[in-house]
């Protein structure tokens, strides 16, 4: 199935900082966004709100039984946005690929949803890193 095409402007940095502090969900490392929009990660035609991952938070702890989570932005068609730390789906397919979409997502695991735009964008970032403020590719990389 194709990916949902819903987009929503990325909230300003001040808002994201408040999310990290208020939800005790600080990013595990530096956070950078490739665009100033969030793209829904679900399969097209889903019910309910749209969602995009903002960053990963938390670490695996065998003592407490906690797992890393994603901080997700979920938005309704009305434009209302909420931020929720949720674990990943974690389902695994027969090739060992695991589903990197939030738990309780609508039908369509990550490997069942195709996003031609994101695929093309990723290919352009790899081919033209300078365009995105990244260091040039080392010579010799195909
Ligand atoms: Zn959506
Ligand atoms: Zn899944």
Geometric angle at alpha carbon 49, from 47 and 53, rounded to 5°: 120
Collapsed DSSP state (helix, strand, coil) of residue 111? helix
**Ligand located closest to 87 CA:** 2
Spatial separation of the C-alpha atoms in residues 4 and 33, rounded to whole Å:
19
**Ligand located closest to 101 CA:** 2
**Ligand located closest to 45 CA:** 1
26 inside domain: yes
**Ligand located closest to 7 CA:** 1
CA of 79 to the centre of ligand 1 (A): 12
- pLDDT by residue for the chain (142 residues), tens only, comes to 999 999 999 999 999 999 999 988 999 999 888 889 999 999 999 999 999 999 999 988 888 887 889 999 999 999 899 999 999 998 999 999 999 999 989 999 999 998 887 788 889 999 999 999 999 887 876 5
Measured CA distances, 95 to 4, 111, 118 (Å): 24, 10, 22
135 inside domain: no
The residue range of the domain holding 117 is: 7-130
86 inside domain: yes
Token pair for residue 107? 């039908």
29 inside domain: yes
End-to-end Cα, the chain, rounded Å = 30
For the chain, the domain total comes to 1
What pTM does this model have?
A: 0.77
1 inside domain: no
59 inside domain: yes
CA of 76 to the centre of ligand 2 (A): 20
Token pair for residue 113? 């949803």
100 inside domain: yes
Spatial separation of the C-alpha atoms in residues 133 and 67, rounded to whole Å:
32
Bridge partners, 27 (sequence order): 57
Bridge partners, 10 (sequence order): none
């Amino acid at each position: 199935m194709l990916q949902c095409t819903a987009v929503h402007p990325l909230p300003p940095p001040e808002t994201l900082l408040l999310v990290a502090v208020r939800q005790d969900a600080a990013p595990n490392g530096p956070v950078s966004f490739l665009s100033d929009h969030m793209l829904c990660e679900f399969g097209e035609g889903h019910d309910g709100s749209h969602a995009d991952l903002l960053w990963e938070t938390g670490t695996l702890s065998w003592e407490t039984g906690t797992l890393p989570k994603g901080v997700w932005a979920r938005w309704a068609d009305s434009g209302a946005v909420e931020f929720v730390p949720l674990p990943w789906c974690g389902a695994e397919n027969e090739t060992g690929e695991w589903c990197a979409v939030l738990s309780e997502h609508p039908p369509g695991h990550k490997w069942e949803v195709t996003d031609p735009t994101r695929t093309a964008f990723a290919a352009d970032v790899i081919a033209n890193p300078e365009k995105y403020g990244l260091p040039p590719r080392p010579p010799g990389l195909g």
